[in-house]
Chains A and B, each alone.
Chain A
Amino acid sequence: MSSISKILFGGSIALALVSRTFAYDFGRPANPDEIALWDIDVRPDGTGLPEGKGTVAHGKDVFAENCAACHGDEGVGGIKDRLVGGQGTLKSDAPIKTVGSYWPYATTLFDYIHRAMPYQAPGSLSVDDTYAVAAYILSLNGILPENGELDRNSLPKIKMPNRDGFVPDPAFNPDTLFRKRSR
């Protein structure tokens, strides 16, 4: 009871002391195997990308089967987000924001398809199919050649056309926000 009181009414110092002592009073340790099941995020440097590969050619088939119904043939004209084109429109009164015209990182494309697509059955595409369909979408946007292929090494090296199109809010600029603390 007194430790709870400390937690409730003490400051963060009391919090830290109590939690170090009784850490495993709450929850349980996570084991590495189960963490791996959920640890799906992919970062711009490629951290988190799984082993595997896929070609543009195969991606065309994966797209036709899983994506075209919502995104349209070749990623245009569907009932959901347009994926292709729009480059050069961002200053116009009717900007078209697509993977090709707007997305700053190709790694985000893999991460998003892998975690959230296809809409009705997210996570149902294999890793190879995910690389393939990402490759196909990039090729439709002129970012990969028609005979292109993607894997965990090549994907992070792609420079998206709008990579330099973003300006961080000064209040939360990742390059400067924690500079004092981390150096």
Chain B
Amino acid sequence: MTDPTKQSELDNVSRRSFLAASTGIAGSFIAGKAAAESLADVPQREVGADLAGLSERSKFVKLARIPEATPGRRNVDHSDAINSKTPLDKLLGTITPSDLHYERSHSGVPDLDPAKHRLLVHGMVEKPLVFSVEDLQEMPSISRRVFIECTGNGWENWKRADPSLTVQNTHGLISTNEWTGVPLRFIVDLAAKNQNATWMLAEGGDAAAVARSIPLTEEILDEAFVAYGQNGEPLRPAHGFPMRLIMPGFEGNLNIKWLRRLKFGDRPWMTRWETARYTQLQADGKAIQFQLRMDTNSVITSPSGTMTIKPGRQKVTGLAWSGHGKIAKVEISTDGAKTWKAAELISPALPKSQSRFEMTWVWDGKPTKIVSRSTDDKGNVQPDRPSFIRVHGTNALFHYNAQQTWAIDETGKVSNVLD
């Protein structure tokens, strides 16, 4: 391997094999790719490390979230970060590892003692109740795979497209986990909610006591739950340990973490988070309020921003999701939204959960743009950016679900563009 002539031959072989079969290599996060060209170069088998209490990631795999602040404020000191974004470009399948689940926390990450944590259920109920974590775990449980998405996801691209952004920067405020907990309806029935109680205040036990008003629609009563489990283990502190609300399909902020109070009433409370925040300023200066559902969305995660591809076969892959239900279809355009082709949806494509899509594409080496658009089973289609901006203007900050376009230049460099 030290012979320069041989190395150069290997490089050529390597380049040819890339041309023949480069699939997602642009975005590979595995170090030392294609370093063993002949089977003779594959290292000898050897005895590995001792077995351990925790299985760590391979030293060859580098995965991390990125703590960021508001749009354009990246690479901030962690003390200034308000969210931490999931590396969508490096994930496989649809489940987000717990330690890589995106996070938005409003006053740090408390690590609450579960023995001392309590959930108070009161307001317009016959029986105000207090529950411990153990009480919840004694109740009948459900487990469900759902996405949670911060309403700020996509907010980097409202006004301009910074070409240095990765898909982690543009779309990393969404993740999918399996959550385990108690159906909200079970708790509502235990407390014997007054039938005129149509709204519920959910409040966290974090320093800010983040609180949101939740309309008790049949859909929400059927699907919301109070979770204590995340991907098979107790919640991580960053995700609300020891208990949080899960609101499938709705704004991330409604999925109150460190849940400590549910109060029933007959109208919304108008907390700071549903007035000053999480309202969408439109071009006419009015703001949309209680836009609670996360809309139909998708993004190509590979090839995506800052990757480099080579001419030849590409596997184009990404994630699609909708707060309305199941993803029914994802289409991909590789010619700047002129023509579209259906991508393959990888099973299982579950309702209110991220779905993986793939398509094979042969890049001819000419500059172009690639973009995806999703359609859900209620018929909602992810809008193109010009139409979306015509309706909403560029000041809304939250609920950006326009199609994401990636430009590819003649060198194969992929970058974030508006459309």
Contacts and interface: CB of A to CB of B under 8 A. Distances in A.
A30 B290 contact: no
Interface stretch (B89-97, B145-153, B265-273): B265-273
Contacts, number: 165
A91 B283 contact: yes
- Among B199, B263, B265, B267, the most chain A Cβ lie within 10 Å of the Cβ of B267
A44 B269 CA distance: 7
Contacts of A126: none
Interface in A150-171: 165-169, 171
B208 A174 contact: no
A7 B140 CA distance: 7
A108 B271 contact: yes
A115 B190 contact: no
B270 A108 contact: yes
B140 A178 contact: no
A8 to B, nearest CB: 5
A107 B270 contact: yes
Nearest to A81: B276
B85 interface: no
Interface stretch (A34-42, A58-66, A139-147): A34-42
A133 to B, nearest CB: 15
B287 interface: yes
A111 interface: yes
Contacts of B186: 7, 15, 19
Given A26-B139, A30-B129, A169 B203 contact: no
A38 to B, nearest CB: 6
A115 B121 contact: no
Interface residues of B: mostly helix, strand, loop or mixed?
A: loop
B189 A15 contact: yes
B127 A39 contact: no
A8 B272 contact: no
A94 to B, nearest CB: 9
Contacts of A7: 140, 186
Contacts of A111: 269, 271-272
Interface stretch (B5-13, B36-44, B130-138): B130-138
A95 interface: yes
B275 interface: yes
A44 B270 contact: yes
A39 B263 contact: yes
Given A91-B283, A177-B217, A38 B139 contact: no
Nearest to A4: B140
A43 B269 contact: yes
Interface string A1-44: 00010011000100110011001101111100011001111111
Contact of B198 (A122, A168, A177): A177
B267 A16 contact: no
Q: How large is the interface on A (under 10, 10 to 19, 20 to 34, 35 or more residues)?
A: 35 or more
Contacts of B286: 165-167
B269 A41 contact: yes
Interface string B257-299: 0001101011111111001100101111111111111000000
Contacts of A116: 106-107, 207-209, 272
B189 A174 contact: no
Contacts of A103: 272, 275-276
A115 B215 contact: no
A90 interface: yes
- Among B185, B201, B287, the most chain A Cβ lie within 10 Å of the Cβ of B287
A104 B282 CA distance: 16
B290 A182 contact: no
Contact of A26 (B122, B190, B285, B290): B190
Contacts of A99: 276
A93 interface: yes
Interface string B96-140: 000000000011000000000000111000011111100100111
24 contacts: A8-B140, A16-B189, A19-B190, A23-B127, A26-B135, A27-B121, A27-B129, A27-B131, A30-B128, A38-B260, A38-B261, A41-B269, A41-B271, A43-B269, A90-B281, A103-B275, A108-B276, A111-B269, A112-B271, A116-B106, A122-B107, A122-B209, A169-B288, A173-B290
Interface of A: 4, 7-8, 12, 15-16, 19-20, 23-24, 26-30, 34-35, 38-44, 90-91, 93, 95, 97, 99, 102-105, 107-108, 111-112, 115-116, 119, 122, 165-169, 171-174, 177-178, 181-182
Given A34-B130, A102-B287, 15 more contacts: A15-B183, A26-B131, A27-B135, A29-B129, A43-B267, A97-B281, A122-B107, A122-B207, A122-B209, A166-B275, A166-B287, A166-B289, A172-B290, A174-B215, A181-B198
